[in-house]
Structure 1
Amino acid sequence: MALRGVGAKPLSERGQIEVREVAPWNEPGLTRDQRVIEFCEDLPITAGKLAGTKMKLRPWQCDFIRAVYADDAEGNRPVRTAVLSMGRKNGKTQLAAALALCHLLGPEAEPRGEVYSCALTRDQAAKLFAEMVAILKGHPELDDRCNVVRFTKQIEVLSGDGEGSIYAALSADAGSKLGLSPSFVVYDELGSAPNRALFDAMDTASGARDNPLMMVISTQAAADHAVMSELIDYGLKVQAGELDDPSFHLTLFAAPSDADPWEPTTWELANPAIGDFRSFDDVKRQAAQARLVPSKEAAFRNLILNQRVSAVSRFIHKAEWDACAGTVDLPSLDGRECYAGLDLGATRDLTAFVMVFPDDQGHFDVAARFFMPEANIADRSNEDRVPYDVWAKQGLITLIPGATIDPGFVADVLANAAARYNMQALAYDRWRIEDLKRELGLIGANLPLTPFGQGFKDFSPAVDMLERCVAEKLLRHGGNPVLNMCAANAVVTRDPAGGRKLDKSKAAGRIDGLVALAMALSISKRHEPEALPACLAELID
């Protein structure tokens, strides 16, 4: 055949390009990271006012490369996972394309290597492929060694470093990723991924390689339970010295949550290229709009300031909720007075059982249990875009055998809790409670059940109590990820009289845990002893 793929160069025309005797990245005396930098800076810029000139890495880009590609004393690269997170439009696509080419046919290439770029959709995956092809077109010496198959979005290396290697663009909506053995993976905008399936598939597939590298270049996700958030939180612990893991590197450009979002100095913290190839005027325009249009503020914070902020307005501010995490010593709660809330989900949904333990200072320790049916847990995780299956393996969710919630199983848990703790009241929603009461009767459990209405009249005081406890840092919830998810999803609705309640129909996801927490706090308030009048208190004294 004369052609190998649509748009490929005829084989008869190959090998006629004048090749430099020594490529810049192969000059003697260069360290590993210097070779990577030299390779990138030999590539052309393909778009914009600098199109046709060679790439010039900025100091912050060089710092990232030096951190990732530095060798240890044995001459090996310790880093296996590298995360670069910053605001949108800071040149991440060109940097990712340059590094992918470096691993495909540059100084980081290996014989018969496999290089992949991953993205949420096929169109997004095609953008990085298109950038790599444009770079090759502007670099005849490298282009002569490659065969581009546009239909399948693949690049084959025919000669030189990396001979026999392939590159392919993958998307989360594609089929099975089994059988791959990646030497280098770059995941574009992992923060937008609906689940962790593609990331895990690529991360676990590289075990056959001696020196694999998984690189993530993305803005932050909006939720704590997203895989991108988990990576950043892990990287921050490594940076703080809480974890010793030389195989993981994080470079994070993000504005602190308490920074003034309208100040240019704040923009610079999340946009290292601002005023350079990231337009200052464009950021200024978006900031001005977000300041005047409240619905745009969250998106500006997330996409431009690279803050972990949902684009939907929530009932509880994340920073306030996180400030109440604290540490809960579960064994020390045995025998202590407690109040509980139970939110029974539908037969296939999340069921939440939350207990609060008041102390002498007016604070509450929180202990939460969650239940889901075991059947089809993976499907529900994908449907809700929440890692229920991972949380179940971590013991944060109890899986009940079968396809529905067994009220007998929940009854046993409640009875055991009442025996272990000094339970004063258990608030419950009347919906579906009869099945549970029957099961409690069968095992002879006499619990202090207290009905709790879900309308504005009964729930408005519960919302007020929950809001006050969070604002005044009266809670210690231990940072339970499932409860964190419920808090992040929670929204409230108002009636004409100004009453409020947590609204499941308007929430972006499950809020069962927060509903149970609000009921538990409210029922504890009802059981507080009334203060004696001053005259009686004096007589008793």
Structure 2
Amino acid sequence: MRRTNSSARLPDDPATRWARDAVEGRIVVGEIVAAAAQRHLKDIVDRDGRDLHWRPEKAAHVLRFLPALLPITAGAKAGQPFHPLPWQVFCAGSLFGWRMNSGRMRFRSGWLETGKGQAKSPFMAAIGLYMMGWYGIPRAEVYSIGQDRRTANVLFTDAVAMCRHPMPGQEDEPEELRETLDSAGHVLIRGEGKNAWRIEHPSTDSMFQALANGEAISGPRPAAVLADEIHEFKSGHSIETWQRAIAKMPGDALMLLGTNTPASTQPVGTTYSEFYQKVARGEVKDDQAFAFIARVDKADRETIFENEAAWPKALPALGVTFPYENIRGEVNTARVLLSTAMSVKRLYFGIPTGATEFWIAEEAWVAVQGEVDEARLKGCRCWLSLDLSKKNDLTALSVCWQDASGHLWVKTFYWTTRDGLSDRAKADQAPYDEWVEGEFISAVPGAVIDKTFVAAEVQRICAEHEVEFLAFDPAGIADFMAACGEIGFPVWRYKGPDEPEGQGLKLVAHGQGKLVRFEDRQLTMPRSIERLEDRILAETITIEASPVTYSCAANAHLDADGQENRAFDKKRSRGRIDGIVTIAMAVGAAMNELGETGPSVYETRGILMA
């Protein structure tokens, strides 16, 4: 990161001092935070004619307010004034100190991403209280939102606690005489104890309320929307809705988003994080977006457990309010447990990883994601597999080709209904509308998936490729066969070697449970899962990269019996798994037909668990 050459022209306020220290190496920060600090300094001295003004006195107002009226409510410093941590000084100063010609706040959105335990939630709660009653907006509306009621209440509960704990400056008073914001009448809290649901500021007729994802109110006019735990959001619908509400506000309004580093299987958090990283680095020009993303650098990732000097890059409160002993204990455990290592790297050090409960070692899954070119695979033998939806949820069709080298290539097609798409996205907590727009899913008209769309795609594939047969989940296959009849596409159901063959595409049943049949060429899920795992671990398969497929794989839960026969359990999975089910079926069909034998990868490499 280059140093600023205009130090003499920079003001000496706390936020700018912190930015200078970050850029000039006097405090330990990662590359993304350093870029955000450099952006702050550059904008002060070189605005390029933009409508931007640095107003240190505006920044000072919020920095004075926090310790003057708000207490710390938990931890070793409980009861002391809420003096913002150094990283919070930069964030609060930036959010309120930057102005436009009109005097309005520059930033309409802010993204705060740090490791666990860095006091994001209390800081966001304090900002919410400030904008509710002490920033100067009459009838201000402040909302805390979350994926569900629990996450919506994370920072709101902190705000309630600040209002119920004694205000600073009363340390010499007897405990029974100490006043809180609530008891002094500065605020009114609706709801008793942990059931508090709204804070009101009577003198300005303002309020602060918690809302779970999907809850709506009539005609909101938000001064601030605060959303913590963004990594847990399954859909971006509510964030986008509130962003539009913020955009419509004529005066000051702010949407502040907080998170730990999201996993690769948390698409909402990942998408927003990637956008704000680009803003911080200057790759995306957005003068109304603020980003503070505390992660260790890529060069630190391999040795992060040993390199304590790099820890403050992701843990900016380390050694201040977050003891070194806390993270050292986590690291010591992570050194011996792979599953813990992955979560510690992501949650504390900002190293993006995947789901902590992935059905196979996720790094192995990632290694086989790629592009599958249908045209290049023409002439290769291939196998199909089908998992039909009951009504309107998700239908998946996988195709598995084997090329001349023996490598397998798998591509999956998905269908859902356009009717009720948004409601199902909320119910399944999956961004179906975004996937449809990105052409990862085909949305068909009607309330129930018309199986002729699926039949027509199977017919096309059979016309263009060397299809051996289609493996199917017995549930709903009669509807598929009827649809094939409607479009004039002949299919027949294989019932065993002693039964006569039919005309057209051969359909072979694939067992879905843990039962293993030993009859010749019987397709069962335990065998298919093992064969898919063997291929993934040996990297002799390429699976078409798709957010839908990745989501299905991340949602999957494997159930096993006493003989370690395993099958995917839809009821215990975290969401739709149709894509990973059909991929296993297609690979099982291909390898069963090919008669591949020999030792399993597990015998030579061992089992890798995420």
Give the TM-score normalised by structure 2: 0.68
Deviation at 1:392, TM superposition (A): 3.3
In the TM superposition, 1:298-337 aligns within 5 A as: 303-305=347-349, 313-328=357-372
**Residue 489, structure 1, aligned to residue 555, structure 2:** yes
- Distance of aligned partners of 1:289 and 1:32 in 2 relative to their CA distance in 1, 3 Å threshold: same
Q: In the alignment, residue 155 of structure 1 is paired with which amino acid?
A: E
Name the aligned partner's letter for residue 509 of structure 1: G
Aligned to 1:535: none
C-alpha deviations, 1:373-409, integer Å up to 9, x for none?
Answer: 4454444333332233443344332334444333333
Range with greater deviation from structure 2 (38-47 or 82-91): 38-47
* Identical residues among aligned pairs (%): 25
Q: Distance in 2 between matches of 1:421 and 1:34?
A: 70
CA contact (8 A) 2:79 2:166 kept: no
| 1:143-194 deviation line (CA, Å, top 9, x unaligned) | 7998412116233373xxxxx4623122207842231121322212233346
Letter in 2 for 1:148: V
Does the aligned pair in 2 maintain the 1:39–1:102 contact within 8 Å? Answer: yes
8 Å CA contact 2:379–2:466 kept in 1: the answer is: yes
| Count of residue pairs brought into register by the alignment | 499
1:167 aligns with 2:193: no
Q: 1:218 deviation in Å?
A: 2.3
1:504–1:101 distance in 2 versus 1, CA, 3 Å: closer
- How far residue 352 of structure 1 moved from its aligned partner, in angstroms, is 0.6
The answer (yes or no) to whether the contact 1:381–1:387 under 8 Å persists in 2 is yes
- In 2, are the aligned partners of 1:72 and 1:78 still within 8 Å (CA)? yes
Shift, 1:485, TM fit: 0.7
Distance change in 2, residues 1:173/1:503 (3 Å): closer
CA drift of 1:445 comes to 1.7
Q: Which residue of 2 aligns with 1:419?
A: 463
| Letter paired with 1:86 | T
After the TM superposition, which residues 11-160 of structure 1 pair with which residues of structure 2 at under 5 Å, given as runs?
31-32=54-55, 35-36=58-59, 39-44=62-67, 45-47=71-73, 48-50=75-77, 54-65=81-92, 68=95, 71=98, 79-104=107-132, 109-110=136-137, 112-119=139-146, 120-121=148-149, 123-124=153-154, 126-133=156-163, 137-138=167-168, 147-151=186-190, 153-156=198-201, 158=203
Aligned CA RMSD, in angstroms, stands at: 4.4
Q: Give the drift of 1:304.
A: 4.3
Per-residue CA deviation, residues 31-56 of structure 1 (Å, 9 max, x unaligned), is: 33663255224522434554565544
Task: State whether residues 114 and 293 of structure 2, in contact with CA within 8 Å, keep that contact through their aligned partners in structure 1.
Answer: yes
The answer on 1:178 being equivalent to 2:178 is: no
Residues 190 and 217 in structure 1, CA contact (< 8 A), matched pair in contact too: yes
Match of 1:534 in 2: none
- Pick the aligned partner of 2:587 from 501, 521, 525: 521
Q: Matched residue of 1:224: which SS?
A: coil
Distance 1:58 1:201, change over 3 A: same
Structure 1 residue 215, shift from structure 2 partner: 0.7
| CA contact 2:301–2:351 (8 Å) conserved in 1 | no
Q: Distance in 2 between matches of 1:372 and 1:497?
A: 36
Contact 2:232 2:266 in 1 (8 A): no
In 1, Cα distance between the equivalents of 2:464 and 2:355?
42
**Bigger CA drift: 143-152 or 318-327?**
143-152
AA aligned opposite 1:154: I
Deviation at 1:483? 0.4
1:391 aligns with 2:432: no
2:479 is the alignment partner of 1:435: yes
Normalising to structure 1: TM-score of the pair? Answer: 0.75
The residue correspondences of 1:342-491 to structure 2 (distance < 5 A) are 342-359=386-403, 363-446=407-490, 448-454=505-511, 455-456=515-516, 458-491=524-557
Q: C-alpha separation between the residues in 1 aligned to 2:281 and 2:399?
A: 33
Instruction: Indicate how the Cα distance of structure 1 residues 469 and 504 shifts in structure 2: closer, same or farther if over 3 A, else same.
Output: same
Q: Check the 8 A contact 1:189/1:217 in 2, yes or no.
A: yes
Q: Does structure 2 conserve the Cα–Cα contact (< 8 Å) formed by 1:110 and 1:165? A: no
1:272-328 Cα distance to aligned partner (Å, 9 max, x none)? 212210133233445556667888667656654556667763222333333433345
1:37, 1:65 within 8 Å by CA — same for their partners in 2? Answer: no
Deviations 1:433-469 (A, max 9, x none): 2321232133222454341532445334432342244
Q: Distance in 2 between matches of 1:72 and 1:469?
A: 57
Return closer, same or farther for 1:497/1:168 CA change in 2, 3 Å cut-off.
closer
What residue identity is the alignment partner of 1:166?
Answer: S
